[in-house]
Every structure is written in C-alpha cells, then in structure tokens.
Structure 1
Amino acid sequence: MLSTKLFQDFFKSQTSGGIILIFCTLFSLILANSPFASSYHGIWEVNVFGHHLSHWINDGLMAIFFFLIGLELKREIFVGELSSIKKATLPIFAALGGMLIPAFIFFLTNNGTDTISGFGIPMATDIAFAVAIITMLGKRVPLSLKIFLTALAVIDDLGAIIVIALFYPNPELPLDFTQFGIAIAILLVLFALNKAKIKNSIFYIVGGIAVWWFMLHSGIHATIAGVLVAFTIPFDKDDAKSLSAKMEHALHLPVAFIILPLFALANTAITIDSGSLEHFSMPLASGIFLGLVIGKPIGITLFTFIAVKLGLCELPTAVNFKRVFGVGILGGIGFTMSIFVSMLAFTDPDYINEAKLMILVASLTAAVVGFFTLKVLLKNKQDYSN
C-alpha cells in the first residue's frame, strides 16, 4: 500500500490529538474530583446565547468534527482504502463485525431494562486514541496495519453516524419535516454548485451553516449535517485543485487541538465516588465494558476471518489474523464517539455519568491490553503467517 501525503498528515494529527485527549481527560477527571469541582462544572453550564457552553460544544463544534469525518470518508472513497470493492471489502467487513458483535453483547446484557437504548455506545471506535496508541509502538508497526486500523475506524465512525441518524433523534425536539425539508433543499443546492464546478468555499461554508441550523431545529441531530455537507464539497484527485482536500487539511489541527480537547474537557467532568463504583455491576456498565473490550476484537477478527476465507478479500502484506485481533482490541477504545452516543441515548444524568465512566474504564483497558498485545505480536516483523 502506498502512503499519500494527506494520509501521513492525517495520521500525525490524529496521533498528536489522541495524546492531547488523554491529558485533557485526566485533567478533567482530576478537577471534577477536587475541591474546585463545583467551579469546574459551572464553566460548562455558563449560558451563551440561550444555551449552556457544553451544548454549543456538543451540537455546534462537534458538527465540524463530523464534517471532517465526512471529508476523510469521501477521500477514502475516491482515492483511498475504499476506492474499489477489493480495497473496501476488508475494512468494511472488519468494521461491520466491530459494530454488530458489541451491540449484540450489549443487547444480551441489557435486554428488558430501560438502558437498552444504549446499544449504540459500544459500536464506536475513537480514531485519535486508537492511532495514538498504535503509534506509540514505533517503527515496528507496518504501514499496512496502520492503514487498516485507520480505514476500519473511519468506516466504524460512518456506522456510528448512521446509527445516530436512525435511532437517536434530538431528544429535545419533535421531528419537524418543514425544517428538515429546508435543510435537504439547501443540500441539493450545494450539490448543484458542486456539479457546476463552483469551488468558492464561501458558498459551501454559508450553505453548510444553514444546513446545520435547520437540521438542528428539525429534530434530527445537527451533527449529521456535518457529514452530509462534506459530500457536497468539490473533490479532485489533485490535492492542489481539490477544495475538499484543502478544507480537510485546514481542519485537522483545529479539530485535533481545539474541538476534541474541548469535547473531552466538557464531557469527562465525572465525579467518582463509592456510589459510582457500585454501579459497575449493573447491566449498563457490563454491557459497555464487555461490548468494547470483548466484543470489538472478537467481532473485527471473526468478520475479517470470514471475509478472507470466503475469498471476498485478502489480508495486506504484514497483516495476519493475530495482528487483526490486536488491532481489534484497540478498536475497543470508544471514547469520543461512545461518549457522544451515550448523551443521545439517555436523558437520565445518572445513566449518562455511569455510561461515561464505564466508557473511560473500557477504553483505558482496551488501550493498555491492545498496546501490549501488539507489542508482543510485532516483535518479529517478518512473521506474516496467519
């Protein structure tokens, strides 16, 4: 597999961003459990234009994060690991297994309870964290394995976005077809501008904000607008001529170093006490932990094995099923997307905090276990046998 400059830039920003996310999470947890906890929580509850600051971060800034995901997905479809059926089959199957098996485990542990709506929580993988962990292994990691993990995580994010769109509408608003229709109409205009080869970014920025605004008031979660708008941006295989590539490059740093850290700070201010730890035996906590830590590697490896044995695809050079399993463990780092889904799945603050806390525990477990598993599996760089 060839590494493009855009992929290298993407990988580096995700690596640095993942490390910053780790520090922001630790910082937030420390403050939330310190004498300054009340003041720290108060920061995110400051009213800004009629909404809490945390609301603007989760429904506003995160739309930009989803816009970047859309641009990355579009690039993968046109020139990357999803540009042909042969290339796309392996990560698609892996991601599908990494979503279905965790969701099934969550369903088994929560069936018949009022927390069943959280089935989407263990389906997600955090690209930044996963890439940061695998990068810590240094040059021993084959490029093909890094690309496999990245493609898998991007498709996984797409799956999470589809789940959000289908199963997690805006809990504060009923579905408004008029507002939704206006958002779709603006999207169609942006697609028409694309077809007319108009590459002035101002049209897409203004139109994108309008789509976000009407989607926000339609009852469908506004962050979905980010992905939809991304697919209207003109793309060219020549990065110098591609508005999509220019926007992707421009957004990598602000998303990695501003938006995601703010999201982490605002949403991991969790108070940990003896009562919180007692909840770990409840179905919600066990469903999240088992889904991310056990379900992810099993699902990713099993579906990859099935796809290869059926002759639908083949493993890249330097990738074997053992290493796929190691990458699958890192897939259990849910963090950003899992926390995001948890806030859509529940309205009860206790459930949300319990879910967030278990997501952190499960993600940390997956990161540590995945790191040491891959460290052992990658000792012999020439061992590519299954």
Structure 2
Amino acid sequence: MSPPHSPFTRFVHSESFAGLLLVCTALIAFVWANSPWRDVYFAWQHTHLALSLGNARLDLSLEHWVNDGLMAVFFLLVGLEIKRELLIGELASRRRASLAVAGALGGMLVPAALYAALNAGGPGAPGWGVPMATDIAFALGILALLGPRVPLGLKVFLTALAIVDDLGAVLVIALFYTSGLKLTFLALAALTWGLALYAGWRGAFSLKLYGVLGVLLWFFVLQSGLHATIAGVLLAFAIPIRQPTSAGYLASLAEAAKPGRGELVGARLRDLEDLLERAQSPLHRLEHALHPFVTFLVLPVFALANAGVPVSAGGFGVVSLGVLLGLIVGKPLGVVGGAWLAVRSGVAALPRQVGWGHMVGAGLLAGIGFTMSLFVANLAFGDGSLLTQAKLGVLLASVLAGMLGAGWLLLTSRRTLPGGESASIP
C-alpha cells in the first residue's frame, strides 16, 4: 500500500474529483439540450469569436475554440504525462510497460474491429476510432470510490493503460482524422517544433519561451490541416524533464540563504522560493501548473460543449450500437486478451495482488471513453444525425461501463484472505 500522501495517491484523488466534475457538467449539458431552452444551448455553441493581429484573423465558433483551442491544452498535459511515464514512470519498466501496451493495443483494435464490422460500407464507417479511447478521470474516479477493496497495482495498471491509450488516440487522430494538408503551414509548424526541440535539448528552462513557441506551433498546425490539438503533444515532447545543473543551483541557493539585514529578509525569501521552484524540471513545473486548469476549466467546458445530445434528433442507430458494443464488449475483451497474451508469452507479469478477475474489472472500466471518444466523434462526423448517434452511444456506454466495472470489482474483491489481502476470481 502506498503512503497516504504519496504523489500517486494524490493524483488518484485529484482524478476522482475530475471525474465527478465531468459527470455533473455532462449531465447539465444533456438535460439542457433536451429542455425547452435547447435553442439557447445550441446558439452559444455556434456563436463566433474572432481574434485579429495585423492582417491575420482567426474566426471560429465557441465550440471550435473549445475543441481546437482549450483541448490543445488538455493534449499538452496528456503529452507531458506520456513523456514522464516513458522516462521515469510506470512505462519506464519493461515488464510493466509491456503489460500496459499489450492491454491498450488489444483495447483499441478489438473495439475498432467490432464497430467496423457493424458499419462497414455505411455512412457511419468513419467512426471506427470512436470506441478506441479510455477516459482516465472517470475510470480512476470509480476505482477511488471503491477504496481499499481494489489493489493499488490495478490502479497503476489502469493509469498506464490509459496513458498508452491516449498515445494511440493521438496517433489515430494525426494519421486518419486529418484534412488536406497545406505544406507552407506544415513547414512552419515543423520549423517551430524544431526550435522548441532545440531549446529543450540545450536545456532552456523558461516556460515563457515554450509558451510563445507553443502558441505559434498551435496556429501553424491549425492552419496546416492537421488537428490543432496535435500541437499540444508535439510541444510536450520538446519540454525537458531534467533539472537545472546541481552545482550552480546549490551555489545560488547557498548565496540566497546567507543571513543579511532585516530589511532584506523579504527579498531573500522570494529568492529562495524562486530557486526552490526552479529545482523542479520544466516538465514537472508545467504539469503541476496545468493540472488544476485542465481539471477545473478545460474538461468541464469541453463536457458542457459536447455532451448536449438532443435524443429526438438522431435517435439510437447503427452508429450508436457500434460504439456501444465496441466500448462495452470490445474493450474488456481486448484489454484482458492483450494482457493475457503478454503474460502467457512471458514478456509481462500481473501486478502484485492483482488477479484476472481484477483485470476483467479494469477492462470494463476502460470502456468509459467519454472525453476522447466524444472528441474523435466530432472529428469523424462533424455535425448531423450521425454525430448525435455517436455521442449517444458514447454516453450510454460510459455509464454502463462504469456501473459494470464497479459492480464486477465489488464482487471480485468481496472475499478476503487471512492476511487481509483481497482475493480475486481466478
């Protein structure tokens, strides 16, 4: 069991609150879109906001500002988490990474195949990427509600699984949900990213520098035809994770800590605070700064803008059924099947105190695809009845996956061993 105030425990608690906040905002959007005030809901979505700088002008609807702008910040945070986990986190261990990668690959391929089998050759065919994603905030929120009944190793596995899943979703968006490319802006984006990579390689620790480069990169990617959110992930991989040089840092800290006259105490304290903050790597500083912003603003606003599904407009169709089967049936089959193959082949092992019954529960919870699935649905269908069907399938599947996953884990964790450890269904 991890210490009560370990970084991972604090992360799980934060994600559980994020899940609760998402549930509330999604419910508000759904009720609003099906209420007598539905016209107000759709009117604010399509209200345009323009920004001008000299001759350059960017005119987007509020819905597009949310999905292309705010969500780029979300993808920046996702990219930072992926880089951290790959270098120093759970994915840095080959056996743990192998289990998460195998489970995530199965959890992406099987749902996509089920959806494609139902919608092949039809108008809903482009939506095969919708049931591939996992919403980490919802999934970890449910695990947190189950408390000590669930082994910590299962939470670690599900976190790593969701991170690999997010990386897969980013690749799918970049490769398959991209419009015609504009080579001039693509070259400018590549040049800007190259500058960011060079700054990171040279050890530039100023977040303001990466902020300026990030805004430019976002604009060029948006204009190039790639989805603008890809800029967030690209920028994340440029931001360094190493800390400042220890010798220079310690010398500065010692100088700032020297006793001085009373009127200088306040200034010295500010110097010490600044030095202690700079002791962290730029990646950690940015990740910590973005996490509350994404939790309390970006994701709730995204849910409010995208979860408003007017049930009467499109109804439940073959697209909804494909998404539902992909997330409810395909996810657990793919996650457990991929993990079983990895363990069977000897390249991975189950986490401590985690049995296959727990893994089935994790597979069911992985079917909660809310944030990323809604995002891919917007890219696949644009506006219209097919988008409504896809969103309805995502919402229904996410609710069912959460209920089934929580119920299954309660059953598998009910019995306890003499030492107090949870016993799982083999």
8 A contact 2:149–2:422 mirrored in 1: no
**Structure 2 residues without counterparts, runs of 5 or longer:** 51-58, 245-276, 416-420
Distance 1:267 1:195 in 2: 38
Distance 2:289 2:174 in 1: 27
Residue aligned with 1:48, SS: strand
Distance 1:42 1:92 in 2: 42
Q: Which of residues 207, 214, 217 in structure 2 aligns to 1:201?
A: 207
8 A contact 1:79–1:237 mirrored in 2: no
Q: Quickly say closer, same or farther: Cα 1:348–1:264, change in 2 above 3 A.
A: closer
Deviation for aligned residue 1:5: 4.2
Give 2:55's aligned residue: none
Which 10-residue stretch deviates more, 94-103 or 235-244? 235-244
Give 2:308's aligned residue: 269
Q: CA RMSD in A?
A: 1.7
Deviation for aligned residue 1:283: 2.4
Residue aligned with 1:332, SS: coil
For residues 134-184 of structure 1, the C-alpha deviation after alignment (integer angstroms, 9 at most, x for no partner) is 1111122211111111110111011011000000014xxx31111111111
Counterpart residue type for residue 299 of structure 1 = G
Distance 1:272 1:262 in 2: 21
Distance 1:65 1:235 in 2: 19
Give 2:193's aligned residue: 187
**Structure 1 residues without counterparts, runs of 5 or longer:** none
Distance 2:93 2:187 in 1: 33
Distance 2:289 2:235 in 1: 16
Deviation for aligned residue 1:105: 0.5
Residue aligned with 1:241, SS: coil
Q: Quickly say closer, same or farther: Cα 1:261–1:69, change in 2 above 3 A.
A: same
Q: Give the 5 Å matches for 1:215-226.
A: 215-226=221-232
Counterpart residue type for residue 46 of structure 2 = E
Counterpart residue type for residue 361 of structure 1 = L
Give 1:22's aligned residue: 23
Which 10-residue stretch deviates more, 207-216 or 41-50? 41-50
Distance 2:225 2:239 in 1: 25
Give 1:335's aligned residue: 370
State the identity as a percent: 43
Which 10-residue stretch deviates more, 330-339 or 132-141? 132-141
Residue aligned with 1:82, SS: helix
Counterpart residue type for residue 29 of structure 1 = F
Q: Give the 5 Å matches for 1:57-68.
A: 57-68=66-77
Give 1:70's aligned residue: 79
Q: Which of residues 286, 289, 292 in structure 2 aligns to 1:250?
A: 289
Counterpart residue type for residue 236 of structure 1 = R
Deviation for aligned residue 1:348: 4.5
Counterpart residue type for residue 218 of structure 2 = W
Match status 1:383 vs 2:423: yes
Distance 2:366 2:243 in 1: 30
8 A contact 2:12–2:144 mirrored in 1: no
Counterpart residue type for residue 361 of structure 2 = G
Q: Which of residues 65, 70, 76 in structure 2 aligns to 1:56?
A: 65
Residue aligned with 1:51, SS: strand
Counterpart residue type for residue 242 of structure 1 = S
Deviation for aligned residue 1:13: 2.0
8 A contact 2:153–2:351 mirrored in 1: yes
TM-score between both structures, scaled by the size of structure 2:
0.86
Q: Give the 5 Å matches for 1:1-386.
A: 5-49=6-50, 50-170=59-179, 174-236=180-242, 240-273=279-312, 276-277=314-315, 280=316, 282-380=317-415, 381-383=421-423, 386=426
Q: Quickly say closer, same or farther: Cα 1:74–1:6, change in 2 above 3 A.
A: farther
Counterpart residue type for residue 311 of structure 2 = I
For residues 240-277 of structure 1, the C-alpha deviation after alignment (integer angstroms, 9 at most, x for no partner) is 4211011111111110110000000001111123x644
For residues 22-80 of structure 1, the C-alpha deviation after alignment (integer angstroms, 9 at most, x for no partner) is 01011111111112111122122221112211110000000000000000011101111
